[in-house]
Amino acid sequence: MTVEQYLFLLRSELTGSMPQEELEDILRYYTEYFEEAGPERERDVMVELGSPQRLAEKILGRPAEEDVIPSSQPYAYGDGESAYIPPSEGGMPHWLFVLILAAVAIFAGPLLLGLVFGLGMSGLVCGAVGIGLVAGGIGKLSFSGLLYLGGGGLIVTALGLFLLIGAAAAVWGVVKLIRWLYASVVKGGFRHEEGC
């Protein structure tokens, strides 16, 4: 469990049980507490504080409930307060992720490559044809030729630009998907954005 996850769970336990200003002060205190301990002592601090639920109970002055291991929770509990052990970072091993990614790439790679190559080449061809039509319209030196060929050339050039943008967007989307999968499956955690 990361510090961000720990503080997120603490926030969820305390939300609605106290005024928002007091909640923010408490979270600021524990954020600074973790920062002072440093990254190398984060796990020690989590063991010292206990689970986010237990810490919330202490803050609210409620008697602590018996620790139970709920199947939906991503952290472990023990018999006593000192037995709380945050799980180690990570989920799937890196090598397994790369192996699965390679297997998927064998089948999906040619499709993606064909899509990107097709969109890119179509965009380049449309752009070249469009520029040629615009140049032909200007070469006619007639108003109707300029409107007909020049206008058509601009439309075809714009289509080529959209196809090139589509190719770039397909590559960008796949890269973002792989990065998201890596962060959520291999790193084994979610990222809590501020304000969520």
Residue 175 pLDDT greater than 50, yes or no: yes
Residue 110 pLDDT greater than 70, yes or no: yes
pLDDT for residue 108: 87
* Band of pLDDT at residue 166, cut at 50, 70 and 90: very high
Neighbours of 107 (CB within 10 A): 8
Tokens at 45, concatenated: 């601090």
Give the residue-averaged pLDDT of 125-144: 81
The structural domains of the chain, with segments of one domain joined by +, span 3-83, 94-186
Write down the pTM of the prediction: 0.47
Of 88 and 108, more confident: 108
Give the residue-averaged pLDDT of 43-61: 86
- pLDDT, tens digit (0-9, with 9 covering 90-100), for 59-69: 888 765 544 44
SS (H, E, C) 28-61: HHHHHHHHHHCHHHHHHHHHHHCCHHHHHHHHHC
Residue 189 pLDDT greater than 80, yes or no: no
